[in-house]
Amino acid sequence: MQKLIVPLNAFDRVEVLERGQISFIKLIAESGAFGVEIRRELFTEKELPLENLKQEIEKHNLFTVYSAPIECWNENHQLNEQELAVIFEEGKRLGAKWIKVSLGHYREEQSHLGRLDSFLKQHPHVQLFVENDQTLYGGNIANLRSFFESASELGVPVRMTFDAGNWYYTNQNLDEALQQLSQYVHYLHLKQVNLENGELVTLPLQKNIGHSWEKVLNSLPSHLVKALEFPIVPKERTKEFIQMMTESEALA
């Protein structure tokens, strides 16, 4: 059975900011999703409504991922421990089992993975995910490989979120990314990125027309948890996309 996550940034940003992320939880649940990805950047309140969100998510029996636009390693190549601590505390209040951040400025000879290991041991019930983002350093295959290889060797419990479309924004080769990083991937963000009028744009998924997202899907294990991170407009199409992905699995 497909485990499909719906991130809140899939919906119209203005509507999410105006109505709040909590107002979309019922829709996501009724669309047949496995879970929801709450986005830190889509909160407008000074006091985050995390407990209320947790109650609503639990009422609908959804799995919770918390995504925050922070970098694991700062510009000095050191662990961004203070910001990570804030995000993990917020994730705890939200009831999130997974927390997702970007790699940041990891450098093998300067970044101390032992610090990250010690930090994560303080949060044994939360899984940290690091995603390839759209920066030239955090979305770089060599940097990501270096980080995950070293973390794996040292037994640091961190996993990868593989964003199928972000490689295009950092001018990286998708096939190379799949080859070098697939063993570390446990969470897949699906989107289709095309070049239109000289600009990269993220598009909704379409089946059987040779799009790169299908190559990613077919190259990675089918049991991976997947997020539908592309424009879902209107929001009522959420169920349609979840059914499309579920039918794809049935035909595989």
Contacts of residue 108, defined as CB under 8 A and 6 or more positions apart, other chains included, come to 146, 147, 150
Question: How does pLDDT run across 59-94, given as a tens digit for each residue?
Answer: 999 999 999 999 999 999 999 999 999 999 999 999
Distance CA 252, CA 249 (A): 5
**135-168 pLDDT, tens per residue?**
999 999 999 999 999 999 999 999 999 999 999 9
Domain that holds residue 162: 4-251
For residues 205 and 228, the answer to whether their CB atoms sit within 8 Å is yes
pTM equals 0.96
How many domains are contained in the chain?
Answer: 1
Residue 179 has pLDDT above 80, yes or no: yes
H or E element, residue 159 = strand 158-163
CB 3 within 8 A of CB 245: no
- CA–CA separation, 23 and 31 (whole Å): 14
CATH code of the domain covering residue 81: 3.20.20.150
What are 186-236's pLDDT values in tens digits? 999 999 999 888 899 999 999 888 889 999 999 999 999 999 999 999 999
CA distance 220 to 42: 30
